Amino acid sequence: MSIIKKIAIFFARKEFCRKSINENADLSIFNEKLTNTVIIGLVLIFFSYFLGIPGVFIVGGIATWLKNPVFCVAGVFVIYGISWLLFMSGLYLAGPRYGKALSRWFVRVILEKILGDEAKKIASNTN
């Protein structure tokens, strides 16, 4: 038996993976209408990408123009930190339900691809 299959069997016995396989986790949650908090979270995630990478280059360019490397070091950390705060806030608002549904589906699909029909047998066995 290959090491990948042994690892898959190990994870298939864990509660999260067992539930995902037994309940046949799917992506039907993505068909529902988005709530206002999810929309705000998605906007924050988008804005974090819009601010993060270009902001780092802009601060670097300004620091080069001013010939002040301390401005670059401090500015990049501040801009990148703000970008991450926006991203994490967006994930907090938009992510829990959708993230869990996506991870349950992903676990089920991967384990079923590796183990085949054996995944359902392992998941149904509670020992």
pLDDT tens by residue, 9-67 = 898 888 988 889 888 888 888 888 988 998 898 899 889 888 888 888 888 888 888 88
Structure tokens at 93: 């608002």
Question: Looking at the predicted structure, is the pLDDT value of residue 126 above 70?
Answer: no
pLDDT tens by residue, 77-102 = 888 899 999 999 998 998 788 888 88
Q: Choose between 30 and 114: higher pLDDT.
A: 114
Structure tokens at 13: 């016995």
Q: Write down the pLDDT at residue 61.
A: 87
- Report how far apart, in Å, the C-alpha atoms of 35 and of each of 26, 28, 29, 44, 109 are: 20, 16, 12, 14, 27
For residues 56 and 107, what is the distance between their CA atoms, to the nearest angstrom? 35
Q: Which residue has tokens 């349950």?
A: 104
pTM for this entry: 0.64
Q: Write down the pLDDT at residue 86.
A: 92
